[in-house]
Structure 1
Amino acid sequence: MTLEAPRTTVDTVAGDVAAGAAVVTVYAPAHEVDVARTMGVHSRGTGDPTCRSTPEGFWRTVRTPEGAATLLMRQRQHGIEARAWGPGAHWAIDRVPALLGADDDWSGLTLHTHPALAEVRRRNPGMRLSRSGLIMEALVPAIIEQKVTTLEAHRAWYRLIRIYGEVAPGPAPAGMHVAPSAETWRGVPSWQWHRAGVDPRRSRTVVSACQLATALERAATVDAETAATRLQTLPGIGRWTAAETTQRSHADPDAVSVGDYHLAAHVGYALTGSPVDDDGMLELLEPWRGHRQRVVRLILASGFAKPRHGPRMTIQDHRGH
């Protein structure tokens, strides 16, 4: 897959970035990129203090190895303009192509056996798998989301980020924060976890993982399968949590969130018209091994809602309404 190299410009010297000026690049890929569709996986709901979609573009805060950063990405006719502020601005800008799926190759995915999925892909050519290159950023919220409802998990995440995260650098929208460092997560007192609705088992798992944060971040440099295996050696981190992490850190095209409360039934309804369990979901996805996360992402992007009773997924065109 051929990519046009990013055209990068910097409107300030590196030493001035912390003072508030932006580092700027224009990423001009040879393929379509839908920023919102691609970046949505990093957002934990519409109220996430670390991600925000506004008329200006998609805002994201990130704790890089060089410090906190705020990143704004917006679609332009000539490509995707990205601006970053804060001590980690250069790190964030350098990784914009990977974040927007530069390494994500869909060419091997065959969808001729399922026309509805092929139609979803045709309508979403710019949806790509995003690779952040950061393990802890994805791992901590995944642990918080274990075995609770989405509403409970998001409420806990928002509360903890607003209390322990730092205010986003640069001109980020009001209320945006950067997720805490591993050291800060380790210092959250038990009563704050309790107030946020995070039980002792999950809070202990977060703290234990953060004690190994430096070693765990090295897993971002190995392949997704190896990274997932390493993560699952830690107490409290199983297949679901590892998959939720590598989907974001590695843009893992094959990671399936086995153990998700809703996903298996959703996939079953979409592909067969009937709910299935995890084993049934894996059996249905087996023909697409190597691309199973891509197929799941297409199903989720289709707008299909599992019915009480009804047929498998069909695609309706509402563009004329």
Structure 2
Amino acid sequence: MTLAADPAPRAWTMRETSYRPRAPLDLHETVGILRRGPKDPTVVRDGSVIWLALRTTAGIATLALRPASGEVHASAWGPGADAALDLLPALCGALDDPDGFDPSGHPLIAATARRNPGLRLTRTGAVFDALSGVILEQKVTGLQAYGAWRLLVTRFGDPAPGPVPRPMTVAPDAEGWRRIPSWAWHRAGVQPPQSRTLVRAAERAPSLERAVLAAGDGAARDAALTSLPGIGPWTAAETRIRALGDPDAVSVGDYHLAHEVGFALTGHRTDDDGMLALLAPWAGHRQRVVRLIRLSGAAEPRRGPRLAPEDHRTR
């Protein structure tokens, strides 16, 4: 169950630590994937500082990350402050192993890898927290998903502790998501299939998280996640990317990704099967290649209007 909102949060003692990565680190490109839109109440960028409002096994916490002189300085507040500081190396990609990755197989990938030596794959370890946000992104535009996330988290989450640069909120825990009333889903523009899937996931959150964390490889993680109705390969891959920093996860079924990969690597669009064939030479590091493609600046000229948001609240 979520903590009760405190209208006058007490002043938490600041806890601090530092992390010195073994290799170059681009903190913003590495951790920035956790941000769900520019107005995400759980992730805020304030100058060079990244602020995270998160839920740990010890309670909620706010974590501020500052890059400085080859280190990342971290400050944390709240009952989960120490647990949040323990996450620092994983958030900064310490568990990401690029051994065996050879970008030389394509000039675009090789050039982008040279320009971005600090890209690492972050890992939160929080499977359900990642899954809840991904479910809201199913079959809608990013604008719709980010709006729903912001509304629901702000209304049903917990105020972030500490001196945050703007109001921030910790996303609800599984019980908090389960208790959201039907009118709130409707008001946020979330379709009934997505709200039902998120509630089912919340009901099984502990066992689902244990199964995913115990799985030995990507296929086993996908099997654990897709065992729940309403969760398919795209949702499983997007969850693996954020929660586990999975270097080989590919979001098959994405509206744009196959087109982006095809255009970047061949100059032409392709479908999911074609994308998987193009990425096959980098098996084990396909997510790393996808991230580099998105950093490369290679973009197909737009051929038509953007997909218009669809409002399901009147149906």
TM over 0.5: yes
Q: Are 1:255 and 2:249 matched, yes or no?
A: yes
- The superposition leaves residues 5-31 of structure 1 with CA deviations (integer Å, 9 ceiling, x where unpaired) of xxxxxxxxxxxxx74111111101221
Q: Distance in 2 between matches of 1:196 and 1:285?
A: 37
Q: 1:40 to 1:78 in 2, by over 3 A?
A: closer
Residue 228 of structure 1 aligns to which amino acid in structure 2?
Answer: D
Ranked by relative contact order (alpha carbons within 8 Å, sequence separation 6 or more), the top structure is 2
Q: Are 1:303 and 2:297 matched, yes or no?
A: yes
TM-score w.r.t. the length of structure 2 is 0.90
Q: Distance in 2 between matches of 1:116 and 1:276?
A: 17
- The superposition leaves residues 77-106 of structure 1 with CA deviations (integer Å, 9 ceiling, x where unpaired) of 141101111111111111110111102122
Residue 268 of structure 1 aligns to which amino acid in structure 2?
Answer: G
Q: Are 1:51 and 2:67 matched, yes or no?
A: no
Q: Distance in 2 between matches of 1:102 and 1:223?
A: 19
Q: Give 1:221 shift.
A: 4.6
> Could you tell me which of 101, 107, 110 is aligned with 1:109?
101
**Aligned twin of 2:192:** 200
**Aligned twin of 2:224:** 230
- The superposition leaves residues 255-314 of structure 1 with CA deviations (integer Å, 9 ceiling, x where unpaired) of 0000000000011100000000111111110111111000000001112222259xxxxx
Q: Distance in 2 between matches of 1:143 and 1:284?
A: 27
Residue 200 of structure 2 aligns to which amino acid in structure 1?
Answer: S
Q: Give 1:123 shift.
A: 1.0
Residue 286 of structure 2 aligns to which amino acid in structure 1?
Answer: R
1:46-195 map, 5 Å: 46-195=38-187
Q: Distance in 1 between matches of 2:48 and 2:93?
A: 21
Q: Distance in 2 between matches of 1:105 and 1:75?
A: 21
What fraction of aligned residue pairs are identical, expressed as a percent?
52
**Aligned twin of 1:312:** none
TM-score w.r.t. the length of structure 1 is 0.88
Calculate the aligned-residue CA RMSD, in Å: 1.3
Q: Distance in 2 between matches of 1:231 and 1:237?
A: 7
Q: Distance in 1 between matches of 2:222 and 2:275?
A: 20
**Aligned twin of 1:281:** 275
- The superposition leaves residues 166-220 of structure 1 with CA deviations (integer Å, 9 ceiling, x where unpaired) of 1111111222110011111101111110110101110000000000111122223
Q: Distance in 2 between matches of 1:46 and 1:102?
A: 26
Residue 260 of structure 1 aligns to which amino acid in structure 2?
Answer: D
> Is the 2:156–2:176 contact (alpha carbons within 8 Å) kept by the matching residues of 1?
yes
> Is the 2:108–2:265 contact (alpha carbons within 8 Å) kept by the matching residues of 1?
no
Describe the SS at the equivalent of 1:80.
strand
Q: Which runs of 5+ in 2 are unaligned?
A: 1-9, 304-315
Q: Distance in 1 between matches of 2:83 and 2:217?
A: 21
Describe the SS at the equivalent of 1:306.
coil
Q: Distance in 1 between matches of 2:183 and 2:302?
A: 41
Q: Give 1:61 shift.
A: 1.0
- The superposition leaves residues 10-68 of structure 1 with CA deviations (integer Å, 9 ceiling, x where unpaired) of xxxxxxxx741111111012211111000011001111111011125011111111111
Q: How many aligned positions are there? A: 292
Describe the SS at the equivalent of 1:37.
helix
Residue 220 of structure 1 aligns to which amino acid in structure 2?
Answer: L
Q: Distance in 2 between matches of 1:55 and 1:249?
A: 25
Q: Give 1:110 shift.
A: 1.0
**Aligned twin of 1:11:** none
Describe the SS at the equivalent of 2:104.
coil
> Could you tell me which of 215, 224, 236 is aligned with 1:242?
236
Q: Distance in 1 between matches of 2:216 and 2:245?
A: 10
Q: Distance in 1 between matches of 2:48 and 2:263?
A: 37
